[in-house]
Structure 1
Amino acid sequence: MARVVEVDDAADPRLADFRDLSRADRRPDRPGGRGLVLAEGTVVVRRLLASPYPPRALLGVARRVEDLGPDLAAVDVPAYVTDAGTMADVVGFHLNRGVLASADRAPAPDLAPLLAGARRVAVLEGVNDHENLGSLFRNAAALGVDAVLVGPGCADPLYRRSVRVSMGHVLRVPFATCGLAEAVTALRAAGFVVAALTPGGDPGALTGLAEQERVALLLGAEGPGLSAEALERADVRVRIPMTGDVDSLNVATAAAVAFHATGHAVGVAP
């Protein structure tokens, strides 16, 4: 079980996994840096401890670490307990949720086995906002999406803010990072219909996708949307029907609508 260790010195080198989270050039969850996964709050920490990501350590106030007692029974990591002030000195700001956990990244799955058992997949291009990305993964988990392919120009799904906004669900939805051409080639080989969500698409086509056995939904960034290459590679272009003069939705919201609209094909009631 986890080893509870009391600390009272913010400079303690054992707390390095959690240091300077407000410094973009030093934070430990940068892909180009140490590349750690950081979970914030008891709910998200629980999901990290139950995920494939190997935990390294926890840092929190006594009450939050105690709340996690049953979850820590099966892991052999240090749980550093300190007061809120010392914790703020370590991370660089006051942490309302009172507990953090660090983990190493899990190996990225290969495309072929990732798609082998999937029936519905999200493919992202240029989704560079961490909060949108986290919300999208939460929607994917809730609405039965089997995998996410993270394409060019996307933010890091394992950045702390993405993990937090996803409520830890980015840690349970399998994903792989790949190029657009590679993704579409693999999807077609696996028998997927590739559908691009775009304001210029067919508003009647989304319902028809629910009858398809395997569907991949292409989603682009807010503003520019999908690239011309992505649109050209799609089998069909679809649009969410909307009223008034609204022509688009937040990308995470659009994804949720599309996931739900195609849900009954994969056992999710529409």
Structure 2
Amino acid sequence: MVLEYVTDPSDPRLTDYTRMRDVELRKSLEAERGLFLAEGEKVIRRAIGAGHPIRSVLTTDRWLASLRDVLGDATVYVVSDEVMAGVAGFPVHRGALASMERLPLPSVETLLKSLAGGPRRLLVLEDLADHSNVGAIFRSAAALGVDAVVLSPRCADPLYRRAVKVSMGAVFSIRYARMDDWFRGLAQLREAGFRTLALTPDQTATPLDAVALTERVALLLGAEGDGLSSHWLEEADEAVCIRMSAAAMASGVDSLNVVAAAAIACHDLMRSAG
């Protein structure tokens, strides 16, 4: 481990960590440099365990000891709490940030070929824009045993700092890939033997807990607010819903947010996969 003590938040050695509040800048830096930021001991450990190389670590003296065993020969910038907050733009309660290198993302074709044998369950996310929602959905998918996640081309990045944080590192424990072609994306899944189920709040759709699930199922989740596009709804093999109670419907509560819906749907999806 190489320790370097830094006292100025504008020190150029901390470039990976600065201006994290500027979303467009962070997206640009992450794409250009192939990096992402992991926050907190648990998340950093999971990222290292998934094979992501460490570029550097930013932490305080108080949190350094808890990470010593996994940092190897990494460069560690040690700062005060005040400098840490100045760099990040907010108090870092989990005590450490790590700049990590991304691993090559498999193509959807490669991912699907890797899912051989036995019942298989996919989540397919279309155009979710909120990184927190993406992170929370990855956490539910990993916790409930979903095999992999497929993202539409415009879906938010699972390795964006907020998504990684909300997922508690679950983004490192479940395989995922991003489509190149949104228009033909569902056809590619069907060609691989997956039955596509489009989750909708429409209560005239088949209740998900009543669907006879086949060996290979892909559940489609749409963007916050608008839901699935009309193209994907038409292309899917079947529209499905989560049953809402009559009392809820009568009081005007006719749907769930995408994170809650995803958690319930993942549970239903796995009932015949184990």
Aligned to 2:192: 190
Q: Partners of 1:224 and 1:22 in 2: how far apart?
A: 27
1:162 aligns with 2:163: yes
Whether the 8 Å contact between 1:53 and 1:171 is mirrored in structure 2 is no
Question: In structure 2, what residue type is equivalent to 1:187?
Answer: L
After TM superposition, the structure 1 stretch with the greater mean CA deviation from structure 2, 17-26 or 145-154, is 17-26
Q: CA deviation at 1:5?
A: 2.7
Cα distance change on mapping 1:125 and 1:174 into 2, 3 Å? same
Whether the 8 Å contact between 1:197 and 1:217 is mirrored in structure 2 is yes
Of the three residues 78, 81, 84, the one matched with 2:81 is: 84
Three-state SS of the structure 2 residue aligned to 1:237 is strand
Q: Partners of 2:24 and 2:196 in 1: how far apart?
A: 38
1:218-248 superposed Cα distances (whole Å, 9 cap, x missing partner): 0001221111100011001000001121221
What TM-score do the two structures reach when normalised by structure 2? 0.88
Q: Quick one: percent identity of the two aligned structures?
A: 46
Aligned to 1:45: 44
Q: Which consecutive aligned stretches of 4+ in structure 1 deviate over 4 angstroms post-superposition?
A: 28-33, 201-205
Cα distance change on mapping 1:181 and 1:254 into 2, 3 Å? same
1:195-234 superposed Cα distances (whole Å, 9 cap, x missing partner): 0001226554413546311110000012211111000110
Aligned to 2:145: 144
1:73-124 superposed Cα distances (whole Å, 9 cap, x missing partner): xx43212112111222222332222110011221110222211243111111
Three-state SS of the structure 2 residue aligned to 1:199 is coil
Q: Partners of 2:49 and 2:64 in 1: how far apart?
A: 16
Cα distance change on mapping 1:222 and 1:62 into 2, 3 Å? same
1:226 aligns with 2:228: yes
Q: Partners of 1:201 and 1:111 in 2: how far apart?
A: 31
Any stretches of 5+ residues in structure 1 without a counterpart?
Answer: none
Whether the 8 Å contact between 1:204 and 1:239 is mirrored in structure 2 is yes
Q: Partners of 1:52 and 1:186 in 2: how far apart?
A: 29
Aligned to 1:249: 256
1:117-154 superposed Cα distances (whole Å, 9 cap, x missing partner): 43111111121111111101111111111111111432
Three-state SS of the structure 1 residue aligned to 2:123 is strand
What TM-score do the two structures reach when normalised by structure 1? 0.90
Question: In structure 2, what residue type is equivalent to 1:115?
Answer: L
Cα distance change on mapping 1:31 and 1:18 into 2, 3 Å? closer
Write the mapping of 1:30-41 to structure 2, written as runs, cut at 5 A.
30-41=29-40
Aligned to 2:94: 97
Q: Partners of 2:136 and 2:260 in 1: how far apart?
A: 8
1:33-70 superposed Cα distances (whole Å, 9 cap, x missing partner): 54421011111111111123222110001221211122
Aligned to 1:199: 201
Q: Partners of 1:210 and 1:260 in 2: how far apart?
A: 15
Three-state SS of the structure 1 residue aligned to 2:228 is coil
Three-state SS of the structure 1 residue aligned to 2:56 is strand
1:168-210 superposed Cα distances (whole Å, 9 cap, x missing partner): 1112222111133343122112211100001226554413546
Question: In structure 2, what residue type is equivalent to 1:122?
Answer: L
Question: In structure 2, what residue type is equivalent to 1:14?
Answer: R
More helix as a share of residues: 2
Aligned to 2:18: 19
Q: Partners of 2:218 and 2:203 in 1: how far apart?
A: 15
Question: In structure 2, what residue type is equivalent to 1:159?
Answer: Y
Whether the 8 Å contact between 2:35 and 2:102 is mirrored in structure 1 is yes
Q: Partners of 1:261 and 1:15 in 2: how far apart?
A: 45
After TM superposition, the structure 1 stretch with the greater mean CA deviation from structure 2, 181-190 or 40-49, is 181-190
Any stretches of 5+ residues in structure 2 without a counterpart?
Answer: none
After TM superposition, the structure 1 stretch with the greater mean CA deviation from structure 2, 175-184 or 217-226, is 175-184
Q: Partners of 1:9 and 1:256 in 2: how far apart?
A: 43
Number of residue pairs aligned between Structure 1 and Structure 2 = 264
